[in-house]
């Protein structure tokens, strides 16, 4: 599975954490045994793991700041409106524009973003990460061009994961299809539930109706 650059950094952080935990375990074992040589080695390995983690975390922070909208759901009503704006006014138009790659023939960019929630108590506001399956992209060109088209998603202003490409035909008229998914990490998850008309906190009540979601090119109305 091909993953955009920021996601690669995200995956690199966990190994550094695991390396630190392993070094710490060796250090504690050496202390119990009174093995000074093993203890000193474990300290060096632990310090190396901390440095490696800090470097990977710094790279991740840069990428996350570049690609993440500032969605804070601690105030559910305000956060809901911010999510509407992100989905309707930013994400859809951004993807539609980004899909226009002049170096290939774009045969399909069937993006479809689900309508944003109309209830501030919706469970989506309690998630650590928001996942938006966006649909499929189909492009045509030579091998170098279609591979560059896939890598091009690393430059998108949102964190995009690209599925394994499906190839057909022969270069220079290759056809490649792949699915794209957007990941958004909120700054904060949902805060206190909001009292809704007709019931207590969490009740369905009368939800607010969001404006219609624009249909990006190739989307099904």
Residue spans of the domains in the chain: they are 2-67, 76-184
Residue 221 clears pLDDT 50, i.e. is over it: no
Task: Answer whether 16's CB lies under 8 Å from 49's CB.
Answer: yes
Residue 51 clears pLDDT 50, i.e. is over it: yes
Q: Give the integer Cα–Cα distance in Å for 52 and 18.
A: 11
Task: Answer whether 20's CB lies under 8 Å from 54's CB.
Answer: no
The rounded mean pLDDT for the chain is 83
DSSP letter string over the chain? -EE-HHHHHHHHHHHHHHHHHHHHHHHHHHHHHT-HHHHHHHHHHHHHHHHHHHHHHHHHHHHHHHH----B-SSHHHHHHHHHIIIIIIIHHHHHHHT--TTSEEEEE---PPPPPS-TT-GGGG-SSEEEEEEEEEEEE-HHHHHHHHHGGGGSSSEEEEPPPEEES-TTSEEEEEEEEEEE--SB---SPPB-TTSSBT---SPPPPPPPP--TT---
Judged by average pLDDT, the poorest of 64-78, 155-169, 185-199 is: 185-199
**CATH superfamily, domain at 76-184:** Ribosomal protein S6/Translation elongation factor EF1B (3.30.70.60)
Report CA torsion sign: 185, 186, 192, 196: negative
Task: Answer whether 180's CB lies under 8 Å from 131's CB.
Answer: no
163-207 per-position pLDDT tens digit: 999 999 988 899 999 999 999 989 899 999 998 776 555 554 445
Q: Place 13 in a pLDDT band, splitting at 50, 70 and 90.
A: confident
Residues for the chain: how many in total? 221
- Backbone φ and ψ for 195, nearest 5 degrees, come out as -65, 125
Write down the pLDDT at residue 209: 57
Write down the pLDDT at residue 12: 63
CA distances from residue 82 to 85, 87, 120, 211 in whole angstroms, order as listed: 5, 9, 11, 13
Write down the pLDDT at residue 208: 58
HSE toward the beta carbon, residue 19, CA cutoff 13 A: 18
Q: Place 61 in a pLDDT band, splitting at 50, 70 and 90.
A: confident
19-46 per-position pLDDT tens digit: 888 888 888 888 888 888 888 888 888 8
Give the residues across from 166 on adjacent strands.
Answer: 177
82-98 per-position pLDDT tens digit: 999 999 999 989 999 99
Q: Has this prediction a pTM greater than 0.75?
A: no
């Amino acid at each position: 599975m091909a993953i955009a650059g920021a996601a690669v950094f995200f995956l690199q952080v966990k190994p550094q954490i695991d390396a630190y935990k392993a070094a710490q375990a060796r250090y504690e074992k050496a202390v119990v045994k009174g093995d000074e040589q093993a203890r000193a080695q474990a300290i060096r390995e632990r310090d190396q793991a901390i440095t490696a983690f800090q470097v990977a975390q710094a790279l991740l922070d840069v990428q996350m700041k570049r690609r993440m909208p500032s969605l804070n759901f601690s105030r559910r009503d305000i956060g809901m409106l911010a999510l509407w704006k992100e989905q309707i006014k930013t994400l859809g138009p951004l993807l539609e524009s980004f899909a226009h790659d002049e170096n290939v023939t774009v045969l399909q960019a069937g993006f479809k973003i689900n309508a944003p929630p109309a209830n501030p108590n919706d469970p989506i506001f309690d998630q650590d990460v928001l996942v938006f399956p966006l649909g499929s992209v189909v492009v045509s060109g030579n091998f170098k061009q279609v591979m560059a088209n896939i890598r091009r998603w690393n430059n998108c202003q949102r964190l995009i994961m690209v599925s394994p490409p499906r190839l057909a035909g022969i270069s220079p008229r290759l056809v490649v299809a792949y699915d794209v998914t957007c990941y958004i990490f909120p700054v904060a998850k949902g805060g206190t539930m909001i009292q809704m008309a007709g019931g207590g906190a969490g009740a369905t009540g009368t939800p607010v109706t969001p404006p219609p979601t624009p249909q990006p090119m190739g989307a099904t109305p």
